[in-house]
Amino acid sequence: MSKKSASAASDTETRATSEHAPDLRLWLRTLACTNLIENHIRSRLRAEFDITLPRFDLMAQLERSPQGLKMGELSKRMMVTGGNVTGITDQLVAEKLVIREDSPKDRRAYIVKLTTEGRRSFRKMAEAHETWVVDLFAGMDEKQRSQLYELMAALKSSAAKVAAKK
């Protein structure tokens, strides 16, 4: 926050003033809310597993792709730059949670995979992570959650239309 910036960790809702459009208020409230949750998760990951959120995210991508992923694929899926993936991967390699293998097809590329230890470690963290998220949403009832799910799909599609043409 972030980030986050990260974003950005700001309680952005306080940015709104009375003459601002309702859309702006809606956006700032949404942002404040996700920052609150993301920062909470970030600090719990740090406190309980001594890992950063970006490293956790990268491992999560690899866990879904047991065959491994190229750096560029990680970059696309995580929506961050290649240089960023290089740095995070370096750290995870140093921690022996991940390995870089040469691609047999393309000598420019690496295949990044979880190590056995990395997979074991990730699964443990992912389990805790999931319960944290469940707790954070526990104050909403089932109908609210499913409404929010649909609205987020609508928002993503609305925003993607604008963000795409650039």
Binding mask 68-107 for its own copies (x = CB under 8 A): ---------xxxx---------------------------
Q: Shortest Cβ distance from residue 42 to DNA (Å)? A: 8
Compare residues 11 and 102 and give the one whose CB is closer to its own copies. 11
CA dihedral 42, 47, 49, 51 (to 10 degrees): 50
19, 148, 157 from 154: Cα distances, Å:
26, 10, 5
Comparing CB distances to DNA, the nearer of 20 and 108 is 108
Residues contributing to the site for DNA (CB under 7 A): 1-10, 39, 43, 52-55, 70-73, 75, 79-89, 91, 100, 103, 105-110
> What span, in angstroms and rounded, lies between the C-alpha atoms of 113 and 67?
7
At position 37, the amino acid (one-letter code) is I
Q: Select the binding partner of residue 110 from DNA, its own copies, none (C-beta < 5 to 8 A, by kind).
A: DNA
Give the tokens for residue 59. 């491992």
